[in-house]
C-alpha cells in the first residue's frame, strides 16, 4: 500500500496504490488528511487506477474525505475506478454523492 500526491491548481490529486481495507485505511487516511491540511488546496481528486482491492473500508475512507473536503468548501471527486470498485461505489450509492468519471 502506498499513496502519492500531486497538486493541480487548488486540487490535491491523491493516487492510492495497493489494497484498501480496514488494515490499510487507517494509515491512508492519516497520510491523506495531513497532506490536505498543509497544501494550499480546496478540492481533492482520488485516483483509484492503482487500487488492487477495495472493500467497505474504502467507502468509509471516501465518505470521510468527502466530509473533510466539504468542511473547507471544496469538492471530492473519484477518477479511474476499476470495474470491481465501480460495483462497490454503486452498491453503496457513493457514485451519487461523489463526482465520479464512470
Partner 1 sequence: MQPVNKMKTEFISKSVNEGFARVVAASFVAQADPSIDILADIRTAVSEAVTNAIIHGYEEKDGIITMECILYSDHVSITIEDFGKGIDDIEKAKAPLYTSRPELERSGMGFTVMETFMDSLEVESVPGKGTKIHMTKQLEYR
Pair 4, 38: CB distance under 8 Å = no
Residues 17-36, mask of contacts with partner 1 (x by CB under 8 A): --x-xxx-----x-------
Contact call for residue 63 and partner 1 (CB under 8 A): yes
Nearer to partner 1, 9 or 35 (CB): 35
Distance CA 102, CA 100 (A): 6
**Does 88 sit near partner 1 (CB under 8 A)?**
yes
Stretch that binds partner 1, among 7-15, 42-50, 57-65, 72-80 (CB under 8 A): 57-65
Among 50, 60, 74, 79, binds partner 1 (CB under 8 A): 60
What nine digits make up the cell of 55? 472493500
C-alpha cell at 38: 498543509
Q: Over the range 24-38, which residues count as b (16 or more CB within 10 Å of their CB) and which as e?
A: bbeebbebbeebbee
Q: Is 79 helix (H, G, I), strand (E, B) or coil?
A: strand
Place of cell 482491492: 53
Among 39, 50, 64, 95, which residue sits at the site for partner 1 (rule: CB under 8 A)?
64
Residues in touch with partner 1 (CB under 8 A): 19, 21-23, 29, 53, 55-57, 59-61, 63-64, 83-84, 88, 91-92
Amino acid at each position: 500500500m502506498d499513496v502519492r500526491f500531486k497538486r493541480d491548481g487548488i486540487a490535491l490529486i491523491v493516487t492510492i496504490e495497493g489494497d484498501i481495507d480496514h488494515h490499510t485505511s487507517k494509515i491512508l487516511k492519516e497520510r491523506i488528511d495531513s497532506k490536505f491540511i498543509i497544501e494550499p488546496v480546496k478540492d481533492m481528486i482520488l485516483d483509484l487506477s492503482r487500487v488492487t482491492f477495495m472493500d467497505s473500508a474504502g467507502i468509509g475512507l471516501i465518505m470521510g474525505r468527502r466530509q473533510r473536503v466539504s468542511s473547507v468548501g471544496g469538492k471530492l471527486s473519484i477518477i479511474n475506478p476499476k470495474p470491481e470498485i465501480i460495483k462497490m461505489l454503486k452498491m453503496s450509492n457513493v457514485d451519487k454523492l461523489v463526482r465520479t468519471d464512470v
